C-alpha cells in the first residue's frame, strides 16, 4: 500500500510540475494580449476597459479568461496578471498607440522618439460642411441616381442583425461608398464615425501602400533580394528571397501562423522585442517562390524594410507614414502601433475609423490617385491584384485578398457570385475593406465575430450590390 501511495504522489507531483510549466509558458500569451488590447482600445479608441475585456478578450480563448487587469490613466498604461504566474505591461505613447514592454525597460520604451513629429497636414479633410472624403459631414443627403434606398437600408439591417446567439456578428461599423459618394454608414452603440477601430491583418494591406510609395520614389523594387543583413551571405539560401516573395506569402520561410501556445505567431507578438528579426531568423522550409503560406512574420519583415528606407530621409520615420499616406488622403484617425524595437507592426496593429478605412479603399479604387495626385505608382494596383502563382483559387495577391479564381478555372472563386475583380483587406474577426472596381464600390465592415460561421461576406457584398444601379 505504501508503495502505491508513493507512486501516486510522484505522479501527482509530476502532473503538477507539468501543469505549472505549461501555465508558465502559456499565460504570458493571455496577459500580453489582455494588456495590449485593453491599452489600445482605451487610449486610442476611447472605449470602456470592462467592455473591451468582456467583448474582445474573454471570449477568444480560455487563457484570456484567467487574466486580470488594471488601467492606470495617469501613466497611460495597462497591467495584466494571471494566477500570480504571469504579468504584462502595455504602455501608450502619443503618436503611436500601445506597445508591450518586452525585451526593453519601460524607461527605454518611453524615451523612443520616432513617433514625435509635427503633422501640419492633420485636419486637412475635417471641414464639417463638406461631405466625405474631403470633409467630415458624412453621407450625402441625396442618393446617387439608381441607388435603391430600401435595399440599401435592408443591407445595413442584415449587416447588424443577430440571427444566431452562439455565433454573433457583433458588427460595430459599416460604411458603403459608391462612385466616390459615401451613401450609407451605421455604427453600434458606443462607436461613432470618429472611433478608431483595429483592422488586425488589414494592416498588411496598408503596409502594401507604404511599399508602393517607396517604389514610386525609387527606393524599393519588388525584385529586390538580399533583404536583411543576415540573408546577404551567398551561402544563405534566404538571400534569394525577394520583396515580392514576402508580399505574396511565397518566401518559403518557416512560420507557424496558428494562434495557439508555442506557435511562432504568439511568440512573435507577445514575447519578442523585434518582430521582424524573429521572423527573419526562421529557416527556409521551401525554396522561395515555390509554396504559398500565409505569414504575419513576413509582413513584419516588410515593415522593417519600410522603416529602414524611410529613415534615410526622415530623422523620425513616422513622418513618412503620415506625410506620404495618412494625412495626404485624410486618414487622420490612423494609428500604426509599433513593436518594442520601434518598427510599426505591419502585419496587425493599425487603427482607423471606418470612414478612414473607406478612404484607404477609395485610394485603391482610384488606382492610387488622390485629388489628382498620384500616391501609389502607376501600375501598383494591377501588381497588387495579380494572383500569387501558388495561392489556391487565385485568392491572394500582394498583401490583399482576391476573388480572381483559379488560373485554369476562373469560376473556382472564394465568392463565386461576386465580381471576379473584387479584392479586399482582411483581418481577424472579419474586418474588411472590400473594393470592387467594376461596381465603383467600397465597403467597410468592422466588428468582432464570435466563430467562423458568424459572418457571411459573400451575402454582405451581394446585399449592397442589389441596391446599386
Query: Distance of CA 463 to CAs 151, 156, 187, 384, Å?
Result: 7, 8, 18, 26
- Kindly list the distances between the CA atom of residue 137 and the CA atoms of 93, 174, 181, in Å, as whole numbers in the listed order: 29, 16, 12
- Three-class DSSP category at 215: helix
Query: What distances in angstroms separate CA 232 from CA 6, 211, 229, 245, 465, one per listed residue?
Result: 58, 21, 6, 16, 49
Q: Which of 433, 427, 432, 430 has its CA nearest to residue 452?
A: 430
Beta-bridge partners for 176: 184, 443
- Give the per-residue pLDDT at 14: 58
Question: Residues, the chain, total?
Answer: 469
Q: What is the crossing angle of helices 296-310 and 202-216, to 10°?
A: 30
Q: Render each residue's pLDDT in the chain as its tens digit; 469 residues.
A: 687 777 666 666 656 555 554 555 668 888 999 999 999 999 999 999 999 999 999 888 777 888 999 999 999 999 999 988 889 999 999 999 999 999 999 999 999 999 999 887 777 777 777 888 888 887 777 899 999 999 999 999 999 999 888 889 999 999 999 999 999 999 999 999 999 999 999 999 999 999 999 999 999 999 999 999 989 988 899 999 999 999 999 999 999 998 777 789 999 999 999 999 999 999 999 999 999 999 999 999 999 999 999 999 999 999 999 999 999 999 999 999 999 999 999 999 999 999 999 999 999 999 999 999 999 999 999 999 999 999 999 999 999 999 999 988 888 999 999 999 999 999 999 999 999 999 999 999 999 998 778 899 999 999 999 999 9
> What is the topology classification, in CATH, of domain 149-465?
Beta-lactamase (3.40.710)
* Number of other residues whose CB lies within 10 A of the CB of residue 116: 13
Question: Which residues does 422 contact at the CB level (< 8 Å), separation at least 6?
Answer: 402, 403, 415, 434, 435, 436, 461
Q: Write out pLDDT tens, residues 367-416.
A: 999 999 999 999 999 999 999 999 999 999 999 999 999 988 888 999 99
Q: How far apart are CA 151 and CA 416, in angstroms?
A: 21
pLDDT at 170: 94
- Domains of the chain, by residue range, sit at 2-101, 149-465
Strands 77-82 and 441-447, bridge-based pairing: unpaired
Which set of grid coordinates corresponds to residue 49? 476597459
pLDDT in tens, 323-355: 999 999 999 999 999 999 999 999 999 999 999
Cα separations (Å) of 169 from 80, 125, 173?
27, 31, 11
What pLDDT score does 121 carry? 75
Residue 35 CB partners (closer than 8 Å, separation 6+): 69, 78, 79, 80, 88, 89, 90, 100
- Find all residues with CB under 8 Å of 155, minimum gap 6, and list them: 176, 184, 460, 463, 464, 466, 467
What's 326's DSSP letter?
Answer: I
Amino acid at each position: 500500500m505504501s508503495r502505491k501511495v508513493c507512486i501516486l504522489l510522484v505522479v501527482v507531483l509530476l502532473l503538477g510540475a507539468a501543469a505549472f510549466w505549461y501555465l508558465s509558458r502559456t499565460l504570458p500569451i493571455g496577459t500580453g494580449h489582455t494588456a495590449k488590447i485593453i491599452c489600445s482600445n482605451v487610449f486610442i479608441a476611447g472605449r470602456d476597459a470592462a467592455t473591451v475585456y468582456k467583448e474582445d478578450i474573454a471570449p477568444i480563448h480560455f487563457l484570456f479568461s484567467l487574466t486580470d487587469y488594471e488601467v492606470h490613466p495617469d501613466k497611460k498604461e495597462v497591467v495584466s496578471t494571471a494566477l500570480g504566474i504571469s504579468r504584462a505591461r502595455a504602455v501608450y505613447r502619443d503618436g503611436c498607440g500601445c506597445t508591450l514592454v518586452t525585451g526593453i525597460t519601460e524607461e527605454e520604451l518611453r524615451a523612443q522618439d520616432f513617433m514625435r513629429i509635427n503633422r501640419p497636414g492633420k485636419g486637412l479633410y475635417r471641414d464639417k460642411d463638406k461631405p466625405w472624403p474631403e470633409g467630415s459631414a458624412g453621407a450625402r443627403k441625396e442618393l446617387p441616381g439608381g441607388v435603391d434606398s430600401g435595399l440599401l437600408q435592408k443591407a445595413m439591417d442584415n449587416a447588424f442583425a443577430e440571427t444566431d446567439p452562439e455565433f454573433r456578428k457583433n458588427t460595430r461599423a459599416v460604411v458603403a461608398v459608391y462612385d466616390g459618394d459615401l451613401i450609407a454608414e451605421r455604427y453600434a452603440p458606443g462607436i461613432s464615425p470618429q472611433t478608431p477601430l483595429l483592422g488586425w491583418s488589414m494592416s498588411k494591406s496598408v503596409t502594401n501602400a507604404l511599399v508602393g510609395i517607396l517604389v514610386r520614389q525609387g527606393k524599393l523594387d519588388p525584385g529586390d533580394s538580399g533583404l536583411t543583413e543576415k540573408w546577404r551571405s551567398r551561402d544563405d539560401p534566404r538571400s534569394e528571397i525577394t520583396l515580392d516573395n514576402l508580399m505574396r506569402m511565397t518566401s518559403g520561410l518557416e512560420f507557424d501562423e496558428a494562434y495557439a501556445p508555442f506557435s511562432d505567431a504568439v511568440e512573435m507578438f507577445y514575447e519578442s522585442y523585434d518582430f521582424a528579426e524573429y521572423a527573419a531568423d526562421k529557416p527556409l522550409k521551401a525554396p522561395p517562390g515555390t509554396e504559398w503560406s500565409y505569414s504575419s512574420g513576413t509582413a513584419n519583415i516588410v515593415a522593417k524594410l519600410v522603416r529602414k528606407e524611410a529613415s534615410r530621409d526622415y530623422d523620425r520615420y513616422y513622418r513618412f507614414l503620415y506625410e506620404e499616406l495618412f494625412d495626404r488622403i485624410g486618414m487622420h484617425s490612423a494609428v500604426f502601433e509599433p513593436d518594442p524595437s520601434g518598427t510599426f507592426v505591419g502585419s496587425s496593429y493599425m487603427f482607423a475609423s471606418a470612414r478612414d478605412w473607406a478612404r484607404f479603399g477609395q485610394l485603391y479604387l482610384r488606382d492610387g490617385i488622390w485629388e489628382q495626385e498620384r500616391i501609389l505608382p502607376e501600375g501598383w494596383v494591377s501588381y497588387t491584384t495579380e494572383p500569387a502563382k501558388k495561392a489556391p483559387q487565385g485568392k491572394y495577391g500582394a498583401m490583399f485578398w482576391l476573388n480572381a479564381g483559379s488560373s485554369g478555372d476562373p469560376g473556382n472563386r472564394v465568392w463565386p457570385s461576386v465580381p471576379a475583380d473584387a479584392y479586399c483587406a482582411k483581418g481577424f474577426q472579419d474586418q474588411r475593406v472590400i473594393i470592387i472596381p467594376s461596381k465603383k464600390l467600397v465597403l467597410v465592415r468592422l466588428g468582432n465575430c464570435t466563430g467562423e460561421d458568424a459572418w457571411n461576406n459573400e451575402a454582405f457584398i451581394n446585399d449592397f450590390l442589389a441596391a446599386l444601379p
